Structure 1
Amino acid sequence: MNTKWFVIINPTSGNGAAKKKWIPIYNELKKQQFNFDFSFTEHKNHSFEILKKALKQGITKFICVGGDGTLHTIVNGILSLNPVNISEIKLGIIPIGTANDWVRTYNISKDYKKAIQTLKAEFTVKQDIGKLLIHENNTTIYFNNLAGIGFDGYVVNKVHHYKNLGFLAYLTGAIVSLTSYKKSTLKIIFNKIKIEEKTLMLLMGICKYSGGGMQLTKNINPTDGLFDISHINKISLITLLINIGGLFNGKITHHKLVKSYKTSKLKITVLDTQKTYIQADGELVGMGSFEAEILPKALHFIVAKS
Structure 2
Amino acid sequence: MDAESNTWFVIINPTSGNGSSKKHWPKIKSLLETHLFDFEFAFTTHSKHSTTLVHQAIKNGITNIICIGGDGTLHNILNGIMTQNDFLSSEIKVGIIPIGTGNDWIKTHHIPLDFEAAIQIIKNGVLATQDIGKLVIKNSSKPAVFFNNLAGVGFDGLVVSKVGKHKHIGALAYLYGTLVSLFSFRNFDSKVGLNSEVISGKTLMILIGICKYSGGGMQLTDKPDPFDGLLDVTIAQDFRKFEIIKNLVKLFNGTITENKKVVSLKTKSVTVQFNQENAPYIQADGELIGTGNMEVSLIEKAFSFYTKPPN
Give TM class, smaller chain: over 0.9
Match of 1:20 among 9, 19, 23: 23
Aligned-pair CA distance for 1:295: 0.3
TM-score between both structures, scaled by the size of structure 2: 0.94
Aligned-pair CA distance for 1:53: 2.0
Say if 2:41 is the partner of 1:38. Answer: yes
Say if 2:156 is the partner of 1:167. Answer: no
Q: Once the two structures are superposed, what CA deviation does each residue of 1:184-219 show, in whole Å capped at 9, x if it has no partner? A: 211111101111212110000000100001111111
SS at match of 1:210: coil
Q: Is the 8 A contact 1:175 1:237 kept in 2?
A: no
Q: Which residue of 1 aligns with 2:84?
A: 81
Aligned-pair CA distance for 1:134: 0.9
Q: Which residue of 2 aligns with 1:224?
A: 228
Structural mapping, 1:198-213, within 5 Å: 198-213=202-217
Match of 1:152 among 156, 161, 166: 156
Distance in 1 between the 2:101 and 2:202 partners? 32
Distance in 1 between the 2:272 and 2:141 partners? 15
Q: Which residue of 2 aligns with 1:267?
A: 271
TM-score between both structures, scaled by the size of structure 1: 0.96
Distance in 1 between the 2:187 and 2:242 partners? 18
Aligned-pair CA distance for 1:44: 2.4
Aligned-pair CA distance for 1:88: 2.0
Aligned-pair CA distance for 1:243: 3.0
Aligned-pair CA distance for 1:59: 0.9
SS at match of 1:126: strand
Distance in 1 between the 2:277 and 2:266 partners? 28
Distance in 2 between the 1:32 and 1:201 partners? 45
Q: Is the 8 A contact 1:144 1:281 kept in 2?
A: yes
Distance in 2 between the 1:4 and 1:296 partners? 27
Q: Which residue of 1 aligns with 2:96?
A: 93
Distance in 1 between the 2:37 and 2:167 partners? 33
Q: Which residue of 1 aligns with 2:281?
A: 277
* CA distance 1:139–1:52, shift in 2 (3 Å): closer
Structure 1 range deviating more: 101-110 or 79-88: 79-88
* CA distance 1:244–1:45, shift in 2 (3 Å): closer
Match of 1:193 among 197, 208, 214: 197
Q: Once the two structures are superposed, what CA deviation does each residue of 1:147-188 show, in whole Å capped at 9, x if it has no partner? A: 001111111111123323211211221122123212221111
Distance in 2 between the 1:244 and 1:272 partners? 27
- Segments of 5+ residues of structure 1 without an aligned counterpart are none
Q: Once the two structures are superposed, what CA deviation does each residue of 1:229-252 show, in whole Å capped at 9, x if it has no partner? A: 110013334333333332222112
Structural mapping, 1:91-170, within 5 Å: 91-135=94-138, 136-170=140-174
SS at match of 2:144: strand
SS at match of 2:289: strand
Structure 1 range deviating more: 268-277 or 157-166: 157-166
Say if 2:50 is the partner of 1:47. Answer: yes
Match of 2:185 among 181, 184, 191: 181
Distance in 1 between the 2:172 and 2:262 partners? 22
Percent identity reads 49
Say if 2:297 is the partner of 1:296. Answer: no
Aligned-pair CA distance for 1:82: 3.3
- Segments of 5+ residues of structure 2 without an aligned counterpart are none
SS at match of 2:131: strand
Distance in 2 between the 1:199 and 1:82 partners? 38
Distance in 2 between the 1:249 and 1:123 partners? 30
Aligned-pair CA distance for 1:301: 1.4
4+ runs of 1 displaced by more than 6 Å? none
The alignment covers a number of residue pairs equal to 306
Say if 2:267 is the partner of 1:236. Answer: no
SS at match of 2:6: coil
Q: Which residue of 1 aligns with 2:67?
A: 64
Distance in 1 between the 2:92 and 2:116 partners? 23
Distance in 1 between the 2:89 and 2:227 partners? 17
